[in-house]
Structure 1
């Protein structure tokens, strides 16, 4: 129980992490022959420094000092660079990246296709390609999607609460499928410009959806309609979570010409992360039931109230601040 209690305290202490665990986003764009601009958005959680130091291609040099400013939970910056010759085949890297952090670099040469490169603490540099590689786009956005569900605590708690509420095998499958279908619909509709909601209300409603499931978990004395038709609840709330995923994806951006591939890969990454969470929760609950059956009910009660407390805190934080 100690690790779960510590996790609760950590989440309450850092409410901004609920949906701010996003990659650092950089945009490297050619404005005219030899003239490039670099802009970036670095979530505060990705590093302690105001700016993770950039290693541009070796034929590029900064013109003056980068401009950095703080905005909400991120650092925003811009810089001008002079590049002698093409950057294709050259390396682009970042220094002083925090462990576990990553970044998505968008490279946009004049009159050439845009490409996206993923950088991470373990692989902080990448080579700019002469021709964008679709496989690279698929790999980058798949990883980002998986990271978002595994490190985005609000979506993660919703999935955990849903599995704890349903608990039966086929019911879990149907609920998870309904959640997948619904958030895929709103994610695609929002990213492609067919629908959209302000992120503030969406984030508050996502917290409310978690609180709703926590309340349902406490109602063990009756067969509620949520327990009878969990797939319907999962589908309804999945529509909201899809708008939340779209907000995170809009912060990162999509490569021109590869929007369908990037969107598909991101969504598949989300689903892969979701499946891992579901399997882990089912395995943990089965292990507790088999090895310590008397502890199952107290553990479920503790988890229910922990989820409810965290969701309530997020709800008030997102509504009031």
Structure 2
């Protein structure tokens, strides 16, 4: 581009919280399953922030006792614990509090399954760390919860946003940009659906590594574009967006699997999560186009300065690639 917009735009992104660079901030998941009149199984998953497990814990009202059945088990992306909950009072209508949540950026998805098949789903956040457990959740409440999860996933997933940003910088014509974004949306929606339904399965670590590599590829393509050379992405952006979108869809699916899905309403949860992802993506693209328009009035800069965003995007993405490869080697 002939203006300073790309440089200033990336500086804005570069100043975003560092803990969200490599991986999106994923929610914690508290699943409560009733086994008899007063006993429940409890599964507690907390996402790892780099090598640290945030010290957050569920706390229930007096008369509800939580007994640990299994020591926390650590995986690449989270810590898992199993408990038995014994309720001397009805669980419905009682309060649940997440201790330590105010000091984090983590959301907590709480899911309760009763013996009669009813379900309750709610989201707790840093500014709302206490909630009441309901007897059942409406389809509308479920839809709202998973739509918000989708929006948060894309807006806090800096690797996905950098991929879209690179596409924006390469596609100078609106028609090409629209085609690329549409292709990206269709392809990641396709693999997201297949992966969530169990039709296909690819381990998460290799997928995340290749997602980082896709951003490196676009950074190289952007440099070629700035030098006036024709590249695959500049000629057929929709093809590149569609191809790599298949991988990004698998990344979205792994995040949704970690959060958890209500077994009786998977289609609703899946559709709303995907809608949330699209809403977040549309919001990001709209803001970036507005920023482009704002800074396009600034004076021309040298070719070297124009390349700075591409080099920064490529360097950060390559660091993620090495980091993710090392995580499973």
Q: Tell me if TM exceeds 0.5.
A: yes
User: In the TM superposition, what are the counterparts of 1:1-321 in structure 2 within 5 Å?
Assistant: 4=10, 8=14, 17-45=21-49, 51-63=55-67, 67-97=71-101, 98-220=103-225, 221-290=228-297, 292-295=298-301, 300-321=306-327
CA distance in structure 2 between the partners assigned to 1:297 and 1:120 by the alignment: 44
Secondary structure (helix, strand or coil) at the match of 2:300 reads helix
Distance in 2 (CA, whole Å) between partners of 1:297 and 1:288 is: 17
| TM-score, normalised by the number of residues in structure 1 | 0.89
Distance 2:191 2:76 in 1: 26
The answer to which of 60-69 and 21-30 deviates more is 60-69
Structure 1 unaligned spans of 5+ = none
TM-superposed CA distance for 1:32, in Å, is: 2.4
Q: 1:254 to 1:309 in 2, by over 3 A?
A: same
Cα distance in 1 for residues equivalent to 2:172 and 2:128: 39
Q: TM-score, normalised by structure 2?
A: 0.87
Unaligned 5+ segments in structure 2 are 1-6
Write out per-residue CA displacement over residues 39-93 of structure 1, whole angstroms, 9 at most, x where no aligned residue: 2111133997753132225541223698435444433222222112432222222
Quote the RMSD (CA, aligned, Å): 2.7
SS of the residue 2:136 aligns to: coil
Deviations 1:274-309 (A, max 9, x none): 11111122121221111x132486654211111000
- The answer to whether the Cα contact below 8 Å between 2:25 and 2:105 also exists between their aligned partners in 1 is no
CA separation of 1:64 and 1:73: change in aligned 2, threshold 3 A: closer
Please state whether the residue corresponding to 1:45 is helix, strand or coil: coil
Give how far 1:131 is off.
2.3
Contact 2:24–2:158 (8 Å) recurs in 1: no
Per the TM alignment, residue 9 of structure 1 is displaced from its structure 2 partner at its CA by 8.5
Q: Distance in 2 between matches of 1:47 and 1:127?
A: 32
The size of the alignment, in residue pairs, is 318
**Residues of 2 paired with 1:178 and 1:6: CA distance?**
27
Runs ≥4 in structure 1, deviation > 6 angstroms? 46-49
SS in 2 for 1:18: coil
Higher deviation after alignment, 34-43 or 125-134: 125-134
Moved more, 82-91 or 170-179: 82-91
For the residue of structure 2 that corresponds to 1:36, the secondary structure is strand
Q: Which moved more, 1:197-206 or 1:94-103?
A: 94-103
Shift of the 10–150 alpha-carbon distance from structure 1 to 2, 3 Å rule, reads closer
Question: Contact conserved, 1:206 with 1:240, CA < 8 A, in 2?
Answer: yes
Match of 1:293, SS state, is coil
CA-CA distance at 1:113 after TM superposition:
2.6
2:35·2:41 contact (CA, 8 Å) conserved in 1? yes
